[in-house]
Structure 1
Amino acid sequence: MLRVAVVAGGYSDESVISLKSCELIYANLNPEKYDRTRVRILKEGWYAEIDGEKFPINKGDFSFERNGEKINFDVVFNTIHGTPGEDGYLQAYFEMIGLPYNGCPFYQSALTFNKKDCIAVLSKYGIPHAKSVYITKGDKYSAKEIIENVGLPCFVKPNRSGSSLGISKVQKLEDFEGAMEKAFHEDREVLIESFLDGTEVSVGVLNYKNETIVLGITEIVSHTEFFDYDAKYNGLSDEITPARIPSDVEKRVREIAAKAYNCLNMTGFSRSEYIIVNGEPHFIEMNTLPGFSPASIFPQQAAHAGIALEDLMDSEIELALNRKSPWEE
């Protein structure tokens, strides 16, 4: 029986979401196939958690000891949203110690977590996106010039963050500096994007049984100014699957979403956000470890597609075990 570490937590404000995702994934890993262990990676330490007891993780090989026995894992199922689980750090670590893990490799993790760089790469493949300005903490900038460039309203967001943490929709110039301060609280890099007036959709794409498939398209109707943290996790939005869009637009969204996934050489789960303007989907961001809490979109899309979560977990484990390290290819 395979020993699986279901890894959750992280060092960002998204850790609370990660712990919820962990439980849904843990429950859908078949206990007849897998010996499952919850592993917490938190600022205060790394440890395996069994029946409420904590066992420190040896970072040298990601093992732990229990009752005098050393326990090694066969594979990791990473459920950390944000740093260090979604930005490439853990992927690189697992790569170096030779431990198979789910999801995409460290380069794709780091690239997609950096909104600016991901947009820059995808733009080379002709994938539309909003006009944007990039600012690093300490840079001198003119709020007036930025607004003249991107227009109002605009979005001010951390360049490397998830769950809509630190994002503001700016309606007037006087609110710009407050939005920048809020974004800099989450990251030292900030992206200011023009407002796209259209239909927002979230698109699940994954490698399932060695084929890239678009799991589903969910229309987002937020009860707040935009699809922020409260809208995502506190019920302040309508998430409609399938999206209420014409068949030709649906086909275009599926084409663009699959193209973005394949152009980045992605593997594993992903959920991308798009704004459809005049029938054309504009890329916003890609999440390589989408939420798996009961409120999350990805499990809803799997249910709509008629794919059991247990089958998705099996597929991810298989991909992890069959992936070769860069130096083995």
Structure 2
Amino acid sequence: MKFSILFGGKSFEHEISIVSAIALKKLLANTDIFIFLDDNHEFYLIKKENMKSVFFSSKSYLKEPKIYPKKNGFFTRTLFGEKQIQIPTIINLIHGGDGEDGAIASLLDFYEIPYIGPRKEACILSYDKELTKMLANHRGVNVLDYQVVFQDSKIEVENFPVIIKPARLGSSLGISIVKNKEELEYSLDKAFEYDKKVIIESFIPNIKEYNLAGFFANKELHFSFVEEPKKDEFLDFNKKYLDFSRTTNTQQADITTEVENMLKDNFSKIYTNLFEGAVIRCDFFIHNNTCYLNEINPIPGSLANYLFADFPTTLNKISTSLPKPNNIKATYKFLNEIKVAKGK
């Protein structure tokens, strides 16, 4: 089955989205439709042979055809009006703002364009780490102790070490481990460069961390294998994106069946009745035989393809089980009743 890939976006993770799209191009041989959203919110149709990092960094994409969304698809202007571009199901591969905050999901839903990716409600609850923790608590999933702080507010931390994260950002950008009060101000300034809202969370050295991806199709949840990421104190940006061996030599974690089932149970609580239509990755901690949600990746890097033995089959399965939009038709029954009641 063929797919089209939507990537880019106006976000701090714009370049990471490009890297993800190039990775999927190599993996999905039949995919030849690539839709690039630049930082001016213009859509461009990119040829498969131009899917190279230098093509975007050099701004060469500006010479490609501009396209725009309308009902049931994307269109381009021609000398004779407009022409619809025949595109297969879209994979939303825009990380961070636009892609994960619900903007693109809302646009695609509005124009009834089929896509693989989180819907707007799922985006809203997973994009903001505070809302993610509230969601987890509501669904019976543990989270580590945390506090939410804002720029220019009074900030007090009593127990160190802590980990500081921008609340609405992924890809490990702006994250620091703070071991004492002397390091606190600099780390907060670093995080506030990306977001005015920051999460301060308990940091437990040498805690076990596991990643699990999954999706819903054919009336059941399907899971990837469990990964234990190789890291120092935490999985920073360089480990995630500059160490490409992570996506080619990823191995299944050596864990007991009990731990694996614990991870799957917590993943199911997070995913069900919210993330249908998406391939997501949840990052968990295990501490003292208790499972904690670290974060939800609603559009993980390269769509977490490296956690699945047969990723093309994964996409084929999920594409047959996408949520259907409500087919609501205006009947004007209520207005007609008012007209009759008023005699006009």
TM-score, with structure 1 as normaliser: 0.85
CA contact (8 A) 2:163 2:200 kept: yes
Q: Is the 8 A contact 2:119 2:275 kept in 1?
A: no
Choose 1 or 2 for highest CA Rg.
2
Please tell me whether residue 142 in structure 1 is matched to residue 155 in structure 2. Answer: yes
1:111 Cα offset (Å): 1.0
Compare the two structures and name the one with the higher strand fraction: 1
Q: Could you say what secondary structure the match of 1:207 adopts?
A: strand
- Displacement of 1:76 in angstroms is 1.9
CA distances 1:99-145 after superposition (whole Å, capped 9, x unpaired): 1111221110111111111111211222111101111234x2233xx
Aligned residues: 308
* 1:115-264 correspondence runs (5 A): 115-138=129-152, 140-143=153-156, 147-148=157-158, 151-197=159-205, 198-223=207-232, 225-235=233-243, 241-262=251-272, 264=274
Aligned position for 1:22: 21
Instruction: Please tell me the residue identity of whatever aligns with 1:267.
Output: G
Identity of matched residues, %: 25
Cα distance in 1 between the residues matched to 2:222 and 2:294 = 20
Going from structure 1 to structure 2, the CA distance change for 1:266 and 1:177 (only over 3 Å counts) comes to farther
- Judged with a 3 Å threshold, the aligned counterparts in structure 2 of structure 1 residues 213 and 182 are, in CA distance, closer, same or farther, namely same
Q: Which residue number in structure 2 is paired with residue 301 of structure 1?
A: 307
CA distance in 1: counterparts of 2:326 and 2:133, whole angstroms: 24
Deviates more, 1:206-215 or 1:228-237: 228-237
Q: State which of 45, 48, 51 in structure 1 corresponds to 2:45.
A: 48
What's the C-alpha RMSD, in Å, of the aligned pairs? Answer: 2.6
**Residue in structure 2 matched with residue 57 of structure 1 by the alignment:** 67
Cross-structure match for 2:325: 325
Kindly indicate whether residue 278 of structure 2 is the aligned counterpart of residue 268 of structure 1: yes
| Structure 2 residue 90 is the aligned partner of structure 1 residue 76 | yes
Change (3 A) 1:189 1:233: same
Stretches of structure 2 lacking an aligned partner (at least 5 in a row): 51-62, 330-344
Question: Is the 2:250–2:306 contact (alpha carbons within 8 Å) kept by the matching residues of 1?
Answer: no
Q: Distance in 2 between matches of 1:258 and 1:312?
A: 17
Which blocks of at least 5 consecutive residues in structure 1 are unaligned? Answer: none
Partners in 2 of 1:280 and 1:271 — Cα distance? 19
Contact 1:30 1:310 in 2 (8 A): no
Which range moves more in the overlay, 160-169 or 227-236?
Answer: 227-236
Which letter does structure 2 place at the counterpart of 1:324?
A: K
